[in-house]
Homo-oligomer: A and B are copies of this chain.
Amino acid sequence: MSEATKTLRTPGGHLMVLTEGDDLFAELTALALRADIPSASFTGFGFAGKVSFGFFDFDKRDYDPATFENREMTGINGTLAWKDGKPSIHAHGVGGGPDFKVSGGHLLGLVVGRGSLEVTIAVHDTRLERREEASIGANILRLPGA
C-alpha cells in the first residue's frame, strides 16, 4: 500500500491507519514531510507487534530501554515538531498483554503487529521546534517567546 493511502485529511488534521509491519515513527515522519505539518498533537491506539519504551536516566543522559511484543496499545500521546530541519516526534504510550497488565513509558519505537494502529493527528498552524535543554540533556518543545 502506498504511503498516501495510510492517511486521510480531516477537518482537524489527519487520520492514519497503519497495518502489520508499519513503523509508527517512520510513518509520522513521512506524513510531516509530505503534508509540511508545522506542528501537531496526536493520539493513537491499536496493536503493536513490537514496542520499545524508555525511562530517562538523567545521569547517563539517555533512555534505559525495554522492548515488549504483541501489546494492545491502549493509549499513545505525542506531539510532532521540528529539530535541525527534520520532523521531531515525542510520544509516550501504554499497552497490555494477554493478562491485561499494562506497561508503558516514553516511546522509543513501535512496529504494528497483526491488526492495526489508528492515529488521530490534530494539526497546529505554528511551526514549532524542539531544542535540547542543556541542563537536563533532553529535548524540549519550544513555544514562541519561550
Contacts and interface: CB of A to CB of B under 8 A. Distances in A.
Interface string A108-140: 000000111010101111101000010010101
B143 A78 contact: no
B5 A146 contact: yes
Assembly of this chain: how many copies? 3
Interface residues of A, number: 72
B92 A45 contact: yes
A94 B115 contact: no
A15 B144 CA distance: 11
Interface of A: 1-2, 4-8, 10-12, 15, 17, 19-20, 39, 41, 43-47, 53, 55-56, 58, 64, 66, 72-79, 90-98, 100-106, 114-116, 118, 120, 122-126, 128, 133, 136, 138, 140-146
